[in-house]
Amino acid sequence: MTHYLDAECLAILEAIPPFPFSQIVRPKMTEANQEKKKFLATGQPPHFSYPRAECFDVVGYLLALDKAKKQLQAIQIHPIIKDWYFEKISELQLRAKLIACIQKKDDDHVTALSIKLYGEPLCSLHALSKEFTQSRATSKRAHIHRKKVDASALKHLIEKRLADHHLTDWTVALTNGLTLKLKHGKSKTKPRILIPKKILVSHKRAQRLLVHEIDIHAKRTENGRKSAIALFGRGLPHYLKTEEGLAVYAQHQAFPHSKNRIPGFFDAWAVCLARSEDFQQTFETLKKAKQKMFEDHHLKDSEKRAEDAAWRICLRTYRGISHPNKKGLAFVQGHIYRDGYLEIAKAVQKEGPEILEKLMVGNVGLGNLEDISHMGLACQAQAYSIAKTPLRRAKRSS
């Protein structure tokens, strides 16, 4: 079993009550589906409710964080490690305050706190709009994947990929959830990958998921769990942009034939649209763009496909927002995939590809590398690599 330099600090952090932030900020889906029908029929801005946020004990959670900070203060440990834990708690405090704003339906402050958490987008609305127009001129007709990969087949592929990377402690399970999730687990529990039972993706999408989720997310988590710093397995404060940017960079490098547009483009564009326009304008812009793409590729039911795609993007862009009826409101997390990619690409250009291996030490950010180097911690276990062999097509379960 790994001996952690920060074992005492980790015990304090793990004693804090669970806080499934990404689930809490999601709207009630049955109501969201009803709001979609109403919006498409009348154009009336939707209203979203957040029952998990409404019943979350923000005051009790903030008190638990204050207690943890006092306990951490008494621990004798390397000052850089202690700073990481204090910053981690500050990040959790910021998230809890955002939930309090959701409870109050204070959409302006939900927007402001999401910007504190994830930062402003790197690219302007004008630049992204121009990029979409230019990308259409060079795009190729999409290949329609008639043979899909279902949950059972994807589970088999993920288990095989985990085995290829010798990630033997990981478990994979089918769930009733809506999205594929990677759970880091606590120090004494195994990390898990949860696959929605109703998932159905193209073969190409399955390939990208393996690179994104296993080659990067799972490997970084495993390396962190095996390192001398337990927090590398859980995630340093504000590591998420680097985490997602590295995963997008890896999948972009693995599939050079699909480099027409950086993955995460539409979520970043939607954030910039929402910061400048209201819900209806944002939706209509995304719908028109998606419809043009589908028509370029001669896909059937292009308008219906575009409506569904634009609505899904808007649901992500307006998480935590109760009344998206005016300009400027947004939950801005969506831009970190693309912006994280741009930061990784810039770092590789400046520092060389060696920086990718340095980032594989665990769930750390680009901004942490100097401190990690100062402490003399090097990347342990598996290094940065992307599968070179083509993925075999999985059989669908009967």
Tell me what the mean pLDDT of segment 48-71 comes to: 97
Output the CA torsion sign for 50, 306, 259, 155. positive
- pLDDT value of residue 393: 39
Burial class (CB in 10 A: 0-12, 13-18, 19+), 146: exposed
Residue 131 pLDDT > 60, yes or no?
A: yes
Tell me what the mean pLDDT of segment 180-205 comes to: 89
189 band by pLDDT with thresholds 50, 70 and 90: confident
Residue 229 pLDDT > 90, yes or no?
A: yes
Residue 168 pLDDT > 80, yes or no?
A: yes
Regarding predicted confidence, which is higher, 185 or 128?
128
pTM: 0.89
Residue 303 pLDDT > 70, yes or no?
A: yes
* Phi, psi angles (nearest 5°) of residue 295: -70, -35
Tokens of 229: 């710093």
- pLDDT value of residue 394: 39
Lowest mean pLDDT among 125-139, 267-281, 331-345: 125-139
CA distance 255 to 54: 42
Tell me what the mean pLDDT of segment 273-299 comes to: 93
Tokens of 244: 């997602």
Output the CA torsion sign for 108, 109, 113, 116. positive
- pLDDT value of residue 110: 98
Contact present, 199 and 47 (Cβ < 8 Å): no
Contact present, 84 and 100 (Cβ < 8 Å): no
- pLDDT value of residue 135: 81
Tell me what the mean pLDDT of segment 249-276 comes to: 85
- pLDDT value of residue 165: 93
- pLDDT value of residue 361: 93
- pLDDT value of residue 259: 55
Residue 254 pLDDT > 90, yes or no?
A: no
CA distance 183 to 191: 6
137 band by pLDDT with thresholds 50, 70 and 90: confident
Residue 90 pLDDT > 90, yes or no?
A: yes
182 band by pLDDT with thresholds 50, 70 and 90: very high
What is the pairing mode between strands 192-196 and 171-175? parallel
Say how many CA atoms lie within 13 Å of 286 toward its Cβ.
Answer: 30
Greatest alpha-carbon pair distance for the chain in Å reads: 65
- pLDDT value of residue 257: 58
Tokens of 290: 């998606």
Tell me what the mean pLDDT of segment 194-205 comes to: 92
260 band by pLDDT with thresholds 50, 70 and 90: low
Residue 211 pLDDT > 90, yes or no?
A: yes
CA angle 42, 46, 47 (to 5 degrees): 140
What is the pairing mode between strands 171-175 and 181-183? unpaired
Tell me what the mean pLDDT of segment 143-158 comes to: 83
Residue 23 pLDDT > 60, yes or no?
A: yes
User: HEC profile for the chain?
Assistant: CCCCCCHHHHHHHHCCCCCCHHHHCCCCHHHHHHHHHHHHHHCCCCCCCCHHHHCCCHHHHHHHHHHHHHHHHCCCCCHHHHHHHHHHHHHHHHHHHHHHHHHCCCHHHHHHHHHHHHCCCCCCHHHHHHHHHHHHHHCCCCCCCCCEEEHHHHHHHHHHHHHHCCCCCCEEEEECCCCCEEECCCCCCCCEEEEECCCEEEHHHHHHHHHHHHHHHHHHHHHHHHCCCCHHHHCCCCCHHHHHHHHHHHHHHHCHHHCCCCCCHHHHHHHHHHHHCCHHHHHHHHHHHHHHHHHHCCCCCHHHHHHHHHHHHHHHHCCCCCCCCCCCCCCHHHHHHHHHHHHHHHHHHHHCCHHHHHHCCCCCCHHHHHHHHHCCCCCCCCCCCCCCCCCCCCCCCC
pLDDT digits (tens, 9 = 90+) for 357-380: 999 999 999 999 999 988 876 544
Closest CA to 4 of 196, 145, 188: 188
For the chain, give the mean pLDDT.
Answer: 89
